[in-house]
Amino acid sequence: MIERVTARFGRLVFDRDAIVRAALRAYVEAELEPIARFWYPASDCIGWTGDPKRGVIYNADGEGNYEVVAWNEAGVVGLAYQSGQGPIEQLGLSLDAVTRGPDDVRGAVPGLPSKLESAFVMAVGMLATGEARDDDVVYGEKLAGVGFWLHGDRAGGTLLDVRDPTRAHGAVRLAAWGLLHNGRLLPLSCESYNPRPGWIVTNHNRAEDVPAHAAIDAVTDRALKGPTELTPAELDTLLRPTADPERVRGAQRGLQKVGITWPGSPEIPEEPT
C-alpha cells in the first residue's frame, strides 16, 4: 500500500488487494444494476477478464474515455485514455515508433518493475487502437495517455508525477482507484475534470440502497475466495419484483464469468452469435 498527497487529487491511497476487490465489486454491481434495487453503479460500461489473482478490468464512460486496471500477484498497473489524448499527443510517441503493442504506452509507466510486466501486457490488451487521423492514415497505436503502477510499497507512473499534474489528461479516471469508499469504486463526479482536491468521485447511495449494497459486498467477498452462489435471501434483497427475465439471464451470464451463480442453476449458456 502507498499513499500520495497530490495538489490536484488530494490524498490517494493505492492498495493491491483493495483495488482487486473494488474491481470485482464494480463488475458485480454493473451486472446487477439493470435488475437490482439500487441506483448509480460505479460504471455502466465495464468488462472483466481473468480472476482475483491475475486479471484486468475495463471501465468506460461511453464517450471514448476509459481506464484499464490490471493485476497479478506482484501488484497493479493502470492505464487511462481521455479522448484525443493518446500516446502520440501526450507521451511524445513519434508516428514512426508506433508498434501497435505495449511499447506504444510504456511511457505512461516509467520505472515499471519487471514483475509487473505481465499485468502491463494484460492492460495493454484491453486498450483501443488509434483510428484514421487528419491525414486519413490509421496508425493503430494503443490508446492510453497516463498510467500508474503499484508494487509493494513502491509506486510510479505519470499519474503520480505531481510536478506537472495538469499534463496527465485522463488521470481522474485512475485517481478514483486511490479514492475508494468503504472498498467501493465510486462514479466520477460531474466536476471530475476540473476538480477541487479530492472532489473527483461522488457517493450517490440512498438509504434504501443499503441492503442491496450489503448483499453485493457479501457475495463479492465470497467470490474473491472462489466460486460461490447467491443465496435466496440475497436475491430477495437485490432483485426488483418485476425484473425482466431477459435481463436476469444477462446478469446470470455476466456473473458466472467471475464464479457467481444463481441458487441451483446450471451454467447459463452464452447468447448465440
pLDDT digits (tens, 9 = 90+) for 221-232: 999 999 999 999
Percentage, residues of the chain above pLDDT 70: 90
71 and 164 both lie in a single domain: yes
133 and 240 both lie in a single domain: no
CA distances from 232 to 1, 227, 267 (A): 36, 16, 17
Domain assignment present for residue 208? The answer is no
173 and 217 both lie in a single domain: no
Contact between residue 120 and residue 101 where contact means Cβ atoms under 8 Å apart: no
Q: What is the pLDDT of residue 139?
A: 83
pLDDT tens by residue, 20-40:
999 999 999 999 999 999 988
Q: Is 73 exposed, middle or buried (0-12, 13-18, 19+ CB in 10 A)?
A: exposed
- Domain end, chosen from 134, 160, 178, is at 178
Which set of grid coordinates corresponds to residue 174?
Answer: 485512475
For residues 47-53, give the mean pLDDT.
Answer: 96
pLDDT range class, residue 163, cuts 50, 70, 90: low
115 and 226 both lie in a single domain: no
156 and 222 both lie in a single domain: no
166 and 245 both lie in a single domain: no
Domain assignment present for residue 201? The answer is no
Domain assignment present for residue 193? The answer is no
25 and 80 both lie in a single domain: yes
The pTM is what? Answer: 0.92
For residues 165-191, give the mean pLDDT.
Answer: 86
- Domain end, chosen from 178, 205, 225, is at 178
Which set of grid coordinates corresponds to residue 48?
Answer: 472483466
- Residues in CB range of 125: below 8 A, 6 or more apart: 56
Given CA atoms 251, 256, 262, 268 in this order, what sign does their dihedral have?
Answer: positive
114 and 46 both lie in a single domain: yes
Alpha helices in 33-82 (DSSP H): none
Domain assignment present for residue 246? The answer is yes
Domain assignment present for residue 121? The answer is yes
63 and 173 both lie in a single domain: yes
Specify the DSSP class assigned to residue 185. P
How many structural domains compose the chain? 2
Range of the domain at 250: 213-261
